[in-house]
Amino acid sequence: MRASLRGRHISGAEGLFEAPEVQKAAKRYIKRALTHPKGRPDEITITVEVLKTPPLKTASLPVWTIRSGSTKKARGIVKSVLSANGISEKAQNAALSLLRAGGTVRGAALIEKTTGKRLDKEPLRGLRVSRLGIQKGALGSLSARLSKRGINTDTVKEAIVLASKVASAPGISAELCISDDPHYTTGYVASTEAGYLRVPCMKRKGSKSGGRVFFTEPGADVEKIALYLEKRPVMVGSVSPVGGIISLDELSHISHSKPRGGGGDSRKNK
Ligand code: WAQ
Ligand code: MG
């Protein structure tokens, strides 16, 4: 689904559904476009297509919320998680300044993790992750786990599904995301190793900044990454644990003392 007002992007969303679910899903997408906080669109496009290849299965990333308290602390948290994932200072700064500018890329920017160089070819478009979804049973168990933590919203679920597909992509090392919604100030940093780490206070309330950055391994094949993220159908088929609010110190303690479990076995579909 794509919705716009006088040519300005309002809302976009995608999913994979069993045939009998398609009508209901389309209805939900239209409702969502018509009730979007960014305004009432004057154009909504719904595209429905049959998959030509069966979807790959992946597990959702394990979820944690990192206690932050201020935008300064949030940035510090993001930087230490990215550093732990081998993202250079240069690449971190390139990403943070792109996201701070906000609203300039419709999709995600690809940034090389050592040089900090932007690799995707169309600066305003970026890369649009598509053909992703979650199986009905997995959605039920993800919703239940998120509910226990008080965060069972479409925004959170869709971001987890997207981040899980991105983390499963060949050549991607980590992701950084800040919502472009002025009132949604929680962002996340994600990778196969770190999981999906929600970080509150990523920006000040009312700020229009936001966007997504995918950090690539050095020498990664950009075409191959784009093909995987934009075209390859991937579905979350199993769900990893959803943790509560924790400090980064406490988290590193947990992840060092015991291996992460809960259905994360088939996560890397490389
Ligand atoms: N592919 C690539 N980039 C995308 C896509 C996509 N399918 N959808 C959105 N983006 C980019 C685009 O630049 C947007 O401006 C930016 O991401 C943010 O999109 O755990 O709501 O839909 O509490 O505003 C994250 C935290 C919320 C959720 C993310 O993103 C949580 C969010 P938004
Ligand atoms: Mg948004």
CA of 108 to the centre of ligand 1 (A): 8
Q: Is the predicted pLDDT of residue 112 greater than 80, yes or no?
A: yes
Question: Of 107, 78, 102, which Cα lies nearest the Cα of 191?
Answer: 78
In this structure, which residue's CA is closest to atom 29 in ligand 1? Answer: 179
Hey, whose CA ends up nearest to atom 22 of ligand 1? 179
Across 173-190, average pLDDT? 95
What is the number of the ligand closest to the CA of 103? 1
Is 70 exceeded by the pLDDT of residue 263? no
Which residues' Cβ are closer than 6 Å to ligand 1? Answer: 12, 105-108, 127-129, 155-156, 159, 162, 177, 179-181, 184, 186-188, 198, 210-212
pLDDT of 265 = 41
What are the residues whose beta carbons fall under 8 Å from the beta carbon of 193, sequence distance 6 or more?
A: 84, 85
Average pLDDT, the chain: 92
pLDDT for position 156: 98
Q: Cα(257) to centroid of ligand 2, in Å?
A: 36
35: pLDDT strictly greater than 50:
yes
For the segment 162-173, the average pLDDT, to the nearest whole number, is: 97
**Amino acid 257: pLDDT:** 58
Candidates 92, 102, 58; CA nearest to 189 is 92
In this prediction, residues 264-270 reach a mean pLDDT of 42
- In the chain, the percentage of residues whose pLDDT exceeds 70 is 94
Q: According to the model, what pLDDT value does residue 256 have?
A: 63
CA 177 to ligand 1 centroid distance, Å: 6
What is the number of alpha carbons within 13 Å of residue 27 lying toward its C-beta? 5
Nearest CA to ligand 1 atom 23: 156
Per-residue pLDDT reduced to its tens digit, 72-90: 999 999 999 999 999 999 9
pLDDT at 102: 77
Q: Whose CA is nearest to atom 7 of ligand 1?
A: 129
CA of 151, closest atom in ligand 1: 23
The DSSP secondary-structure symbol of 155 reads: H
Given this model, what pLDDT does residue 24 score? 96
